[in-house]
Amino acid sequence: MRFEAGHSALLVVDVQNDFCPGGALGVPDGDAVVGPVNRLTRHFRHIVFTQDWHPADHVSFASAWGRKVYESVETEHGTQVLWPEHCVQGSRGAALHPGLRVEAASLILRKGMVKGLDSYSALFENDRVTPTGLEGWLRTLGVHSLWLTGLATDYCVRYTALDALRLGFEVVVVQDAVRGVDVPAGREAKVVNELKGLGALFVSSQILGEGQVP
Ligand code: VGL
Ligand code: ZN
Protein backbone atom coordinates (compact mmCIF):
# COMPACT_ATOMS: atom_id res chain seq x y z
CA MET A 1 0.00 0.00 0.00
CA ARG A 2 1.33 3.40 -1.03
CA PHE A 3 -0.62 6.45 0.11
CA GLU A 4 -1.55 8.79 -2.72
CA ALA A 5 -3.95 11.54 -1.71
CA GLY A 6 -5.27 11.89 -5.26
CA HIS A 7 -6.41 8.28 -5.41
CA SER A 8 -7.53 7.80 -1.82
CA ALA A 9 -10.66 8.74 0.06
CA LEU A 10 -11.27 9.01 3.77
CA LEU A 11 -14.66 7.60 4.66
CA VAL A 12 -16.04 8.58 8.06
CA VAL A 13 -18.95 6.26 8.78
CA ASP A 14 -21.83 7.33 11.07
CA VAL A 15 -19.95 9.29 13.74
CA GLN A 16 -23.26 10.63 14.99
CA ASN A 17 -24.49 11.52 18.47
CA ASP A 18 -26.74 8.44 18.67
CA PHE A 19 -23.77 6.12 18.12
CA CYS A 20 -21.66 7.85 20.77
CA PRO A 21 -21.85 7.20 24.52
CA GLY A 22 -25.13 8.62 25.86
CA GLY A 23 -26.82 8.22 22.46
CA ALA A 24 -29.73 5.95 21.60
CA LEU A 25 -27.42 3.24 20.25
CA GLY A 26 -24.19 4.29 21.91
CA VAL A 27 -21.10 2.38 20.83
CA PRO A 28 -18.74 1.90 23.81
CA ASP A 29 -15.98 4.51 23.51
CA GLY A 30 -17.46 5.60 20.16
CA ASP A 31 -16.45 9.25 20.55
CA ALA A 32 -12.79 8.18 20.86
CA VAL A 33 -12.66 8.05 17.06
CA VAL A 34 -13.12 11.82 16.74
CA GLY A 35 -9.46 12.71 17.46
CA PRO A 36 -7.92 10.21 15.00
CA VAL A 37 -10.53 11.08 12.35
CA ASN A 38 -9.80 14.80 12.66
CA ARG A 39 -6.05 14.21 12.33
CA LEU A 40 -6.60 12.04 9.26
CA THR A 41 -8.67 14.70 7.50
CA ARG A 42 -5.46 16.77 7.15
CA HIS A 43 -4.03 14.15 4.78
CA PHE A 44 -6.92 13.59 2.40
CA ARG A 45 -8.31 15.50 -0.53
CA HIS A 46 -11.45 13.35 -0.86
CA ILE A 47 -13.40 13.06 2.38
CA VAL A 48 -16.86 11.58 2.84
CA PHE A 49 -18.92 11.60 6.01
CA THR A 50 -21.95 9.32 6.19
CA GLN A 51 -25.05 9.74 8.31
CA ASP A 52 -27.51 7.02 9.20
CA TRP A 53 -30.73 8.95 8.48
CA HIS A 54 -33.94 7.07 9.21
CA PRO A 55 -37.61 7.99 8.95
CA ALA A 56 -39.43 7.80 12.33
CA ASP A 57 -41.07 4.41 11.70
CA HIS A 58 -38.08 2.70 10.13
CA VAL A 59 -38.01 -1.08 9.58
CA SER A 60 -34.88 -1.42 11.75
CA PHE A 61 -36.59 -0.07 14.88
CA ALA A 62 -37.80 -2.67 17.40
CA SER A 63 -40.66 -0.28 18.23
CA ALA A 64 -41.96 -0.49 14.65
CA TRP A 65 -42.45 -4.25 15.14
CA GLY A 66 -43.53 -4.25 18.81
CA ARG A 67 -40.48 -6.42 19.48
CA LYS A 68 -37.49 -6.28 21.79
CA VAL A 69 -34.27 -4.53 20.89
CA TYR A 70 -31.57 -6.82 19.38
CA GLU A 71 -34.10 -9.47 18.32
CA SER A 72 -34.10 -10.35 14.63
CA VAL A 73 -36.98 -10.50 12.17
CA GLU A 74 -37.23 -11.74 8.60
CA THR A 75 -38.09 -9.14 5.96
CA GLU A 76 -38.29 -9.40 2.19
CA HIS A 77 -34.64 -8.28 2.15
CA GLY A 78 -33.42 -10.92 4.63
CA THR A 79 -32.78 -10.97 8.36
CA GLN A 80 -33.08 -7.61 10.08
CA VAL A 81 -31.60 -6.95 13.52
CA LEU A 82 -33.91 -4.69 15.53
CA TRP A 83 -32.40 -1.59 17.11
CA PRO A 84 -33.56 1.12 19.48
CA GLU A 85 -34.91 4.12 17.60
CA HIS A 86 -31.82 5.97 16.41
CA CYS A 87 -30.69 8.61 13.91
CA VAL A 88 -34.17 9.85 13.12
CA GLN A 89 -33.95 12.40 10.30
CA GLY A 90 -33.29 15.89 11.64
CA SER A 91 -32.96 14.83 15.28
CA ARG A 92 -30.08 15.80 17.55
CA GLY A 93 -29.10 12.15 17.73
CA ALA A 94 -28.72 12.03 13.96
CA ALA A 95 -26.36 15.02 13.91
CA LEU A 96 -22.67 14.41 13.35
CA HIS A 97 -20.59 14.51 16.53
CA PRO A 98 -19.99 18.21 17.28
CA GLY A 99 -16.23 17.67 17.67
CA LEU A 100 -15.68 16.49 14.09
CA ARG A 101 -13.93 18.67 11.49
CA VAL A 102 -16.97 18.44 9.19
CA GLU A 103 -15.70 21.44 7.27
CA ALA A 104 -13.18 19.05 5.71
CA ALA A 105 -15.91 16.93 4.08
CA SER A 106 -16.44 17.18 0.36
CA LEU A 107 -19.47 14.90 0.55
CA ILE A 108 -21.96 14.14 3.32
CA LEU A 109 -23.91 11.06 2.32
CA ARG A 110 -27.12 10.01 4.01
CA LYS A 111 -28.39 6.45 4.01
CA GLY A 112 -31.16 4.32 5.49
CA MET A 113 -33.82 6.75 4.28
CA VAL A 114 -36.16 4.15 2.77
CA LYS A 115 -38.68 3.06 5.41
CA GLY A 116 -38.68 -0.64 4.50
CA LEU A 117 -35.00 -1.12 3.72
CA ASP A 118 -32.05 -0.68 6.06
CA SER A 119 -28.66 0.48 4.81
CA TYR A 120 -25.54 -0.35 6.77
CA SER A 121 -23.06 0.03 3.93
CA ALA A 122 -22.12 3.41 2.50
CA LEU A 123 -22.15 1.82 -0.96
CA PHE A 124 -25.34 -0.28 -1.16
CA GLU A 125 -28.54 -0.62 0.82
CA ASN A 126 -29.03 -3.91 2.67
CA ASP A 127 -30.55 -5.61 -0.36
CA ARG A 128 -26.91 -5.33 -1.58
CA VAL A 129 -28.03 -4.11 -5.03
CA THR A 130 -29.56 -0.65 -4.55
CA PRO A 131 -26.61 1.76 -4.86
CA THR A 132 -26.18 4.87 -2.72
CA GLY A 133 -24.27 6.59 -5.55
CA LEU A 134 -20.99 6.63 -3.65
CA GLU A 135 -19.28 4.18 -5.99
CA GLY A 136 -19.80 6.52 -8.95
CA TRP A 137 -18.62 9.53 -6.93
CA LEU A 138 -15.42 7.72 -5.98
CA ARG A 139 -14.72 6.32 -9.45
CA THR A 140 -15.24 9.59 -11.29
CA LEU A 141 -12.68 11.15 -8.95
CA GLY A 142 -10.16 8.39 -9.65
CA VAL A 143 -10.27 7.00 -6.11
CA HIS A 144 -9.22 3.38 -5.77
CA SER A 145 -8.16 3.26 -2.12
CA LEU A 146 -10.72 3.66 0.66
CA TRP A 147 -9.67 4.45 4.21
CA LEU A 148 -12.43 3.45 6.58
CA THR A 149 -13.11 5.04 9.95
CA GLY A 150 -16.14 5.43 12.19
CA LEU A 151 -18.94 3.41 13.76
CA ALA A 152 -19.74 0.64 14.12
CA THR A 153 -16.92 -1.72 13.15
CA ASP A 154 -19.17 -4.78 13.15
CA TYR A 155 -22.11 -3.20 11.27
CA CYS A 156 -21.81 -0.17 9.03
CA VAL A 157 -18.02 -0.25 8.72
CA ARG A 158 -18.10 -4.01 8.04
CA TYR A 159 -20.75 -3.81 5.31
CA THR A 160 -18.99 -0.86 3.71
CA ALA A 161 -15.71 -2.81 3.72
CA LEU A 162 -17.34 -5.93 2.25
CA ASP A 163 -18.94 -3.95 -0.57
CA ALA A 164 -15.75 -1.99 -1.27
CA LEU A 165 -13.68 -5.18 -1.47
CA ARG A 166 -16.29 -6.75 -3.74
CA LEU A 167 -16.08 -3.71 -6.03
CA GLY A 168 -12.29 -3.96 -6.19
CA PHE A 169 -11.28 -0.99 -4.02
CA GLU A 170 -8.23 -1.25 -1.81
CA VAL A 171 -9.65 -1.17 1.73
CA VAL A 172 -7.66 0.26 4.63
CA VAL A 173 -9.33 0.12 8.04
CA VAL A 174 -7.89 2.59 10.53
CA GLN A 175 -7.93 0.54 13.69
CA ASP A 176 -7.78 3.39 16.23
CA ALA A 177 -10.49 5.29 14.33
CA VAL A 178 -13.20 2.59 14.49
CA ARG A 179 -15.21 1.10 17.38
CA GLY A 180 -17.75 -1.73 17.44
CA VAL A 181 -21.09 -2.38 19.14
CA ASP A 182 -20.11 -6.04 19.65
CA VAL A 183 -23.72 -7.30 19.49
CA PRO A 184 -23.87 -10.27 19.83
CA ALA A 185 -20.77 -10.43 22.07
CA GLY A 186 -17.66 -11.56 20.19
CA ARG A 187 -18.87 -10.26 16.84
CA GLU A 188 -16.38 -7.41 16.64
CA ALA A 189 -13.29 -9.65 16.85
CA LYS A 190 -14.79 -12.02 14.28
CA VAL A 191 -15.40 -9.17 11.89
CA VAL A 192 -11.81 -7.94 12.15
CA ASN A 193 -10.56 -11.42 11.27
CA GLU A 194 -13.08 -11.77 8.48
CA LEU A 195 -12.05 -8.48 6.87
CA LYS A 196 -8.34 -9.27 7.21
CA GLY A 197 -8.99 -12.63 5.55
CA LEU A 198 -10.68 -10.89 2.64
CA GLY A 199 -7.71 -8.58 2.08
CA ALA A 200 -8.54 -5.44 4.07
CA LEU A 201 -5.47 -3.78 5.56
CA PHE A 202 -5.56 -2.68 9.21
CA VAL A 203 -3.36 0.28 10.08
CA SER A 204 -2.89 2.87 12.81
CA SER A 205 -3.77 6.48 12.01
CA GLN A 206 -0.20 7.28 13.06
CA ILE A 207 1.24 5.88 9.81
CA LEU A 208 0.34 9.12 8.05
CA GLY A 209 2.23 11.20 10.61
CA GLU A 210 1.48 14.77 11.55
CA GLY A 211 2.02 16.45 8.20
CA GLN A 212 -0.46 17.82 5.70
CA VAL A 213 -1.10 16.87 2.09
CA PRO A 214 1.16 19.02 -0.10
C1 VGL B 1 -25.52 1.09 12.51
C2 VGL B 1 -26.97 -0.28 13.63
C3 VGL B 1 -28.04 0.34 13.05
C4 VGL B 1 -24.10 1.50 12.26
C5 VGL B 1 -26.59 1.74 11.92
O6 VGL B 1 -23.87 2.68 11.91
O7 VGL B 1 -23.21 0.64 12.42
N8 VGL B 1 -25.71 0.08 13.37
N9 VGL B 1 -27.85 1.35 12.19
ZN1 ZN C 1 -29.49 2.56 11.55
Each residue's pLDDT tens digit, 130-187: 999 999 999 999 999 999 999 999 999 999 999 999 999 999 999 999 999 998 899 9
Report the DSSP beta bridge partners of residue 108. Answer: 49
Residue 75 lies in a domain: no
Domain count, the chain: 1
Q: What is the pLDDT of residues 56-105, one digit of tens each?
A: 999 999 999 999 999 999 999 999 999 999 999 999 999 999 999 999 99
Under a CB-based contact definition with an 8 Å cutoff, are residues 82 and 71 in contact? Answer: yes
Say if 81 falls within a structural domain: no
CATH number at residue 94: 3.40.50.850
The alpha carbons of the chain give a radius of gyration, in whole angstroms, of: 16
Which ligand 1 atom lies nearest to the CA of residue 152?
A: 7
143 in any annotated domain: yes
Residue 34 has, within 13 A of its CA and on its CB side, a CA count of 17
Ligand nearest to C-alpha 81: 1
pTM: 0.96
Ligand 1 atom, smallest distance to 14 CA: 6
Write out the residue range of the structural domain in which residue 17 sits: 5-54+86-208
118 inside domain: yes
Question: From the candidates 31, 52, 87, 111, which is the catalytic residue?
Answer: 111
Question: With a 6 A CB cut-off, is 152 part of the ligand 1 pocket?
Answer: yes
Asked if residue 176 lies in contact with residue 205, where contact means CB atoms within 8 angstroms, the answer is yes
d(CA 48, CA 129): 21
Exposed/middle/buried for residue 89 (C-beta within 10 Å: 0-12, 13-18, 19+)? middle
